Structure 1
Amino acid sequence: MEQTLRRALEDESFDFLPLIENAKRQSRRLAPAIEFPTRIAIDNKMHPTYTLIEIQAPDRLGLLYDVLSCLDRENILIPLSRINTQAGAAIDTLYVVDGSNHAKITDSHRIRLIQQHLKTAILSGGAAKSR
Structure 2
Amino acid sequence: MKALFAVDHIFGRSADGAVFTIGGKFPYPAWQSYLDVFDQLTVVSRAIPLPDPAGQRRSDGPRVDFQLLPARRGIDRLRGIRDARKAIFAAVKQADVVIARLPSETALIACAAARFHGKPLSVVRTFGTTRGVD
Normalized per residue, which structure has more strand? 2
Of structures 1 and 2, the one with the larger relative CO (CA 8 A, separation 6+) is 2
Task: Normalising by structure 1, report the TM-score.
Answer: 0.26
Normalized per residue, which structure has more helix? 1
Task: Normalising by structure 2, report the TM-score.
Answer: 0.25
Structure with higher Rg: it is: 1
